[in-house]
Chain A
Amino acid sequence: MNCKTLYIIALFCSLAASSLLAQETIPKDWNSEKIRGSRFIMYFSCNGNPFLTDKFVIGEIELTDGVKIGNLNLRYSTWQDELIYFNSALSAQIIIDKNSIKGFSFIDASGQKRSFRQQYFNGFLSGYRYFELLSECDISLLAFRKAGLHACAVYTDISGVVKNVEYQNDYTYYLYNPKKGYEQIRIGKNSLLSKFDKHAHKLIKRILRQNMVQIVDEQSFVKAWNLICKNGVSVNF
C-alpha cells in the first residue's frame, strides 16, 4: 500500500479520535449520591462464617432514588443482615444504611448473579430485611439468608481460646406477593406441592418429571419453581 495513503488514513483516524476526546468529561468526584453508613466493627470470632461470601466481591447497589452505584467491594453479613462495603479512599469497612438503598447485586465465585432487595417483613421479628431474589414471577421466591450463633461441641480456636459456639446458616424461604405478603416455604417437594390445589399436583409432578427435576436442594427447588411459574400453574396463596 502506498505510504501516502497510510498517512492520510492515520490523519483521518486522529481527526476522528479528536472528536471523541471533545465529548463530555465528567469529573472523577462528581456529586453523585453519596453512600452513607457507619463503621463496621468486627464480629465475635468463632467457627463458621458470619458472611455470605468468603471475601469482598465486586457488586452494585441501588439507592432509594433509583441511582445505581457499581464497582463496589461488597460483603453481605448473614449474621446481622447488614451490607458492608469497603471504601478504599478511607480504608474503612462501612455498613451501608439499610434505609438508603433499595437493593444490591453481585456476581459470586461461581459466576452467578445474586440479587438482593430490601423490603419490609411483617412477620415475626418484623422490620426491614435484605431478601435474596431467587425467582421473580407474580409470586416471587425469596430467601432470607440468616446465620445464627449456635451451641456446638467444645473446640479451641486459632487464638487458643476454648469456645462452644459457631455460626450456622439458618436460611428461610418465602413466597412473596406485594398484595398478599409473605408465606414461608421449605425446600422440598411436599412443601412445594402444598402451596397448590390438589388437582394441580398431577400436572406439577408431570412437569417436574418431564424436565427431569428432582427437588433435593435450593438450586433444584428454584428450577422447579421457575418451571411451574412458566407453565402458569396458579399458586394457592
Chain B
Amino acid sequence: MERKILIVLLLFMALAGNARDKEYFALFTDRDLYASGETVFLKVFVPSDEPTGIVTIDLISSVGQAITKIMLEISDHQANGYLYLPDSISSGYYILRTSTRFASVHTIKELYVANRFSGVPEQDELLRPSGELPDPGTKVQSIRINGLDDSYKRRKSVTALLRLPEDLLLQIDGNVHVSISKTNPEYSGKSFILKTKSPPGQIIEKEKIILEGIVQDLKTAQPYKNAVVYLSIPDSVPGLKSSITGPDGRFSFQLNPEYSGRSFSSKTKSPPSQIIEKEGIILEGVVQDMKTSQPFKNAVVYLSIPDSIPGLKYYITGTDGRFYFQLKGCYGKIPIVIQCVDYVSNQLLKISLVDTESLRGGLPLFERKPLPAELRKTISLINDAVTIRKLFNQKEITVQPTPPLKRDLVPFYGTPNSAVYPKLFTDLPDFNEVSRELLPGVKFRTFNRIPSLQVLNNAAHAFFNSPPLVLLDGIPVMDLNVIKGMGSGKIERIDIVTGERFYGDLLLQGVVAIFSAKGNETQVREADDLIKINLDGIEPQATLNIPSDQLSTEPDLRTLLYWEPSVKPKPTIPVDFRTSDLKGSYKLTIRGKTRDGSIFFKEQNFEVN
C-alpha cells in the first residue's frame, strides 16, 4: 500500500517537474542592426499554455528608459507585428522585451539602433544587456531550400522552394515564419530570458521598501558615475538619505516601513489583481477619497468612448477601491474618458489608473562593452541607406485597415422619447433658453449661479427629484456648468429620455444626451475625478512593401527582402523575392514551433553582388 502511495507521489513530483520546465516566449526580429526611422518586424512564438490573449513588446534603452511599446494580439500561439523606431532615439544598444500583465519571465532581444542624424557614437564603450541565454532552437537539416544560389546580381527576381519533411509537418504547431534579410556578421543581437521575482520600482523585501533609479548625463544621455542622490521625506523632523551612483549610474534607497508615507503605502499595499488579458485590453485603476487618500467603496466609475452612438461601461468599486474594464477589439489609438462619482455621499474623489508598466517590471543588467570597429562602418552604410529611402519617400510597410470598434446600434439608454435638433429653430443663446423653449420635460435652472437639471418622470407625471444622467457627446457630465453656455448653435441634437431607465445595476432617472456641433469631447476637462487618455490599442497588422517596378530609376535600398510571419506549413513553400541594390550577405530563414514547444529553424545565406 505504502509503495503504491510512494509511486503516486513520485508521479506527482515528476508532473510538477514537467510543469516547472515551462516554455518561454520566443521573440525574433527581421534583423539585429537598425537605423532610427526604420521599422522592426517582429515574430513572437507564445507558449501553448499561455492564457493571455495579448503580449506587450517594450523597446527599452540601455539606461532603462522605455522608448515605446506595442501590444500584439496572440492568435494560434503566435503574434506578429512591427515597431517603429523613432528618429528621436540616440545611438546605442536597446532591448525588446516581451511581457504580459503578470509575467515573471521576460524574453529579451538585443538590438543596435543607430541614430541616422547623429551617426556613429563617439564613445568606445557602450552599455550592453546581459542575461541567461535560452536555447536558440534546433537547426533542422531535413528542411531543404531549393533554388537558392550562392550569389545573385542586384534587382534579380528569385524563386526559392522550401521543402518541409512529412514528420516535421505533423509536429508543427501553428504557422511558420519565413524571412530574407541582410546580415551583418560583425554584430549579432543576442536573445535571452529574464526572470523577475517581483515588480520593479517599489519592491517590498523583508518589510522594507527599495527605491531604485538611474542618473544620466544631460548632454550625453549616458549613466553618470559618482553623482550624489538625496532622498528627503517632508516631515516635522527633517530626515535625509543619500546614495552615490556607481559606474552604471544606478542608485537605490532602502526605506523602513515607518518612512513609507501615504503615497508609498497606497501603492504597495494593494496587490495587483490576477486578471489576464484574455479577450481584450484591461484597464485597471483605483478610486480614492480626496480627503483621506483611502480606497473608496461604491464609487461608480464610467468609461466612455466618444462616438455618435453613446456607449458606456461602468464599474462599481469594492472595498479596495479598484475598478477594471475590459476593452475588446480596440486597435490603434482610442480616445477614452474615465471618471468616477459618488452618488451616495457626494464625496470628492480622485481616480487614477494603475501603472501597468510597474507591473510589467524587470530589466536586465547592462555592462560596458566596446563597440567593434567593423560595426561603425556598417552603421554609417545603413544610415545612408535609410536616409535615401526617406528622401524618396519609400514606405517600408502598409498598415492593414483596423476593424472598426464594435458599437451598439442603439444607445445604452435605449430609444429616446424625443430627439430635438436645436439648429432647426431660432437661435437661442444658452442651455437655459434651449431647455425652456425646445426640450419637452426638461427643466434647466440656475439659482445662485448653481445650475440644476430635472427631467419629467412620465410614469409619475412629475419631475424626478434626482438629476438625470447628462451626456455630452457620450461622456457623462457631472458639472452642469460645462453645458450652461451651450446655445442652439453649438448643439447638433439632444436626446431626451423621460422616465426611469435601467442599465445593469444603475438606475437612471432620465437621460439628457447632448451632441455638440463639433462632435468632440474637448469641452470635458481633465480633473481629479476624470481622466482622458489616448489608449494604445492592439497594433494593427502590416505588410512589407516591395517596390513593384524592377526597372524603376529610384534606388532600391531594402535590407529586408521578404517577410511572411505566418505561412501555413505545407510540403513545399514557394518564396518569391527580388534582390535590392544593397550589396552584401543575406539570409533566408524559416522558423517555427513544434507541439512540444521547441523552436526549429533552417537558414541559408547568399550574396548580392
Contact = CB atoms under 8 A, between A and B. Distances in A.
Interface in B493-543: 499-507
B276 interface: yes
A65 B413 CA distance: 17
A151 to B, nearest CB: 28
B197 interface: no
A65 B16 CA distance: 40
Contact of A39 (B322, B325, B502): B502
A15 B324 CA distance: 29
A29 B275 CA distance: 13
A9 interface: yes
A7 to B, nearest CB: 12
Interface residues of B, number: 40
Contacts of B51: 24
Contacts of A99: 409-410, 415
A90 B505 contact: yes
Nearest to A11: B9
A26 B274 CA distance: 8
Contacts of B275: 24-27
Interface string A7-33: 011001001000000111111111100
B220 interface: no
A64 B16 CA distance: 43
Q: Which of A9, A22, A87, A97 is the most central at the interface, judged by chain B CB atoms within 10 Å of its CB?
A: A97
Interface stretch (B310-318, B435-443, B446-454): B310-318
B500 A39 contact: yes
Nearest to A35: B504
A132 B110 CA distance: 61
Contacts of A36: 412-414, 501-504
Interface in B391-443: 406, 409-410, 412-415
B2 interface: yes
B459 interface: yes
B9 to A, nearest CB: 7
Given A34-B314, A36-B501, A1 B2 contact: yes
B1 A1 contact: yes
A172 B82 CA distance: 59
A31 B503 contact: no
B324 A38 contact: no
Contacts of A41: 459
A139 to B, nearest CB: 29
Given A23-B274, A39-B459, A87 B324 contact: no
Nearest to A15: B16
Interface in B452-491: 459
A99 B501 CA distance: 15
Interface residues of A, number: 34
B56 interface: no
Nearest to B459: A41
A30 B325 CA distance: 7
A117 B303 CA distance: 31
A197 to B, nearest CB: 42
Given A30-B326, A31-B325, A22 B274 contact: yes
A110 interface: no
B12 interface: yes
A68 B503 CA distance: 16
Contacts of A24: 51, 274-276, 278
A28 B315 CA distance: 10
B273 interface: yes
A43 B504 CA distance: 24
Contact of B414 (A2, A30, A92, A97): A97
A169 interface: no
Q: Which of A22, A29, A31, A34 is the most central at the interface, judged by chain B CB atoms within 10 Å of its CB?
A: A31
Q: Which of B406, B413, B414 is the most central at the interface, judged by chain A CB atoms within 10 Å of its CB?
A: B414
B218 interface: no
B250 to A, nearest CB: 32
Interface in A62-103: 64-65, 87, 89-90, 92, 94, 97, 99-100
A37 interface: yes
Contact of B501 (A9, A26, A38): A38
A38 B511 CA distance: 13
A210 interface: no
A25 B502 contact: no
Contacts of B313: 31
Contacts of B322: 27
B240 interface: no
Contacts of B415: 99
B500 A34 contact: no
B5 interface: yes
A77 B505 CA distance: 22
Contact of B2 (A2, A22, A23, A27): A2
Given A1-B2, A12-B9, A29-B316, A34 B503 contact: yes
A89 B6 CA distance: 52
Contacts of B410: 97, 99-100
B2 A65 contact: no
A14 to B, nearest CB: 13
Contacts of A87: 502, 505
A5 interface: yes
B326 A25 contact: no
A35 B2 contact: no
A207 B425 CA distance: 70
Given A12-B9, A25-B275, 10 more contacts: A5-B6, A15-B16, A30-B324, A31-B303, A34-B412, A34-B506, A36-B504, A39-B459, A39-B499, A41-B459
Which 4 pairs show the lowest CB-CB distances between chains A and B? A34-B504, A89-B505, A31-B313, A94-B502
